[in-house]
Structure formats: C-alpha cells, structure tokens
Amino acid sequence: RFLRARQFNPKNAKIMWKNCHEWRQSAEGVGIDELYRQIDPFDYPERNHVFQFWPLFFHKTDKSGRPLNIHHFGRINTSELYKGVSVEKFWQAFLVNADSLTREVLPAAACAAGKPIGGTFVIVDLKGFGTGQFWQMKHLARGAFQVSQDYFPETMSQLAIVNAPSSFTAIWAVMRPWLAKETVAKVNVLGHNYQSALLELVDKENLPATLGGTCTCED
C-alpha cells in the first residue's frame, strides 16, 4: 500500500511507512493499537447516536468483492451530533473505524471473495447536502482526508459521489486541494441520475434501496 501510494519509490515509501509507524505509536496519547482495544468501531456506547447524525457504514460488497463504504452527508448535523458525543470521542471513533479496514474489513472481504481485496468502494450520498453543512464539517473532513491519505494509504479503490447538487462545484473547489492527485483520479462525481452507473459496479441486491438497489436490510 505504501509503495503504491508513493509510485513504487522505495525511499519515499519507507519514509511514509516510518511516519505512519510513529503516528500509530503516539496517536491520541495511547497509540492506535490501545485505542482499538478501548473502542470497538462497530459497537461503542455512542455509536447509535453518531450514526443518526453522521451516518457512515460498511454495507456488503460490489461485484469485485470490495466492501461498500457508504456515507450520507446530507444527514450530517454536527450540532446534534456533539450533544451526545464529545469531539474527542467522535474523532477517536473515526480513527478506529479507519483502522478496522486493514484489521478486519478488507481481510474478511478477501476471505469471502477468495482473492486479495485491497480497497473499498466508497459511495458518498449528497442528497440534502448544502454549503452550510460543509462549513460545519470542513475542519473535521480535512483532518479525516489527511489521516486517511497519510496513515491508511490505498485503502479506497474508488469513490462515487451521488446526488451532487449544483453547489457542489464550489465545495469541490475547496476540497480538491486537500487530496493527492492519485485520490482525485479515483473520484467520480455523479448527479441525480446515478443508479445505472452504480448498478454496473454493484449487484442490486447489495445496494441499499435508498441508492437505487433492492436491499432493505437495516443499515
């Protein structure tokens, strides 16, 4: 992953890996391994509250066996979110959720597919999302992108942004400089007629009905 993130330059990949190793030892004052022991990313006390006001979840797989990682940005409400969880705990939950990719999610997907699975297929739903919500989450989103790129490289194979409103052009102009060019190349911004594009990559029974599939299981 680190070699791919640095265009297979061994020297640069080694520097990236070293920085990641040092961060993992010191993150949040206890290190990522200890944080993972303290917080179960799939079952911590505040999870239901977090899910209500910042919904993101893993949901089955695409046709290639990649886990679907779905984010409903239009439902984000940080004012309500922080009434039930501290900023610190929410950030820690994000970190262990990111770490769960290489610890549990991708290995499980590889086992189910019977082949290596290196990354997720991320779907970001912008239905109901506006500039007001973006400015609420801007600082946190930038930090999340930075951590993902620096310490969990190449865990996202593809990103589809659906239901993109007209205002997203301005939002994307702010966000794009945060991302490495390799990450930008994986992004496909779709409008409201996105279902056929998603169904080319995801079987309809694996895609939530809210996104044009037929799955009605509990998120």
In a domain, 209, yes or no: no
In a domain, 127, yes or no: yes
Is residue 120 a contact partner of residue 61, using CB atoms and an 8 Å limit?
no
Model confidence pLDDT, tens digit, residues 2-43: 999 999 999 999 999 999 999 999 999 999 999 999 999 999
Whole-structure pTM value:
0.92
In a domain, 216, yes or no: no
Give Cα 193 distance to the centre of its chain: 22
Give Cα 167 distance to the centre of its chain: 22
* Element of type H or E holding 46: none
In a domain, 11, yes or no: yes
Nearest to 51 by CA among 37, 60, 41, 38: 41
Domain span including residue 82: 2-203
Model confidence pLDDT, tens digit, residues 69-84: 999 999 999 999 999 9
31 CB-near residues (< 8 Å, 6+ apart): 24, 25
In a domain, 218, yes or no: no
In a domain, 211, yes or no: no
In a domain, 195, yes or no: yes
Model confidence pLDDT, tens digit, residues 65-123: 999 999 999 999 999 999 999 999 999 999 999 999 999 999 999 999 999 999 999 99
The CATH number linked to 43 is 3.40.525.10
Structural domain count, the chain: 1
Nearest to 94 by CA among 47, 129, 150: 47
What is the Cα–Cα distance from 183 to 72, expressed in whole angstroms?
A: 20
In a domain, 52, yes or no: yes
